[in-house]
């Protein structure tokens, strides 16, 4: 735990409401699959950068920078067709950090998990 930063617990319905608001703004048709990569890169203007061995380096397959301008994803998730869903999930997961913890996230003393 980082001293001085408190993360409040959100109920499932609060998270669901944030998700619905996000989809209403960025993908109102609701058609599946949700084009998360396009939403992240083209609408939210967040870079997705693939890094080899990211999970080995930080213990996670993805990470969001403190400035919330870049998502790093382990390159391995894109190197195998079977990992496509995991790659898409990781992108959406990092966007979840922005939706739920944006104010707190900016307080972290480092730029990213890679620092």
| Main-chain phi, psi angles of 50, to 5 degrees | -90, 130
Q: What is the pTM of this model?
A: 0.84
pLDDT in tens, 73-101: 999 888 765 678 889 999 999 999 999 88
Residue 72: which of 44, 99, 46 has the closest Cα?
46
Q: How far apart are the C-alpha atoms of 31 and 45, rounded to whole Å?
A: 22
Domains of the chain: 31-105 (3.30.2010.10)
Q: How far apart are the C-alpha atoms of 33 and 49, rounded to whole Å?
A: 22
Give pLDDT, residue 77.
86
């Amino acid at each position: 735990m980082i001293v001085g930063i408190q993360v409040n617990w959100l109920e499932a319905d609060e998270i669901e409401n944030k998700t619905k608001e996000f989809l209403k703004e960025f993908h109102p048709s609701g058609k599946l699959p949700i084009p998360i990569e396009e939403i992240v890169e083209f609408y939210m203007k967040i870079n997705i950068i693939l890094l080899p061995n990211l999970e080995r380096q930080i213990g996670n397959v993805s990470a969001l920078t403190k400035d919330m301008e870049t998502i790093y994803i382990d390159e391995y998730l894109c190197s195998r067709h079977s990992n496509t869903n995991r790659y898409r999930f990781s992108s959406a997961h990092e966007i979840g950090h922005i939706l739920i913890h944006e104010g707190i996230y900016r307080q972290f003393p480092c730029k990213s998990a890679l620092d």
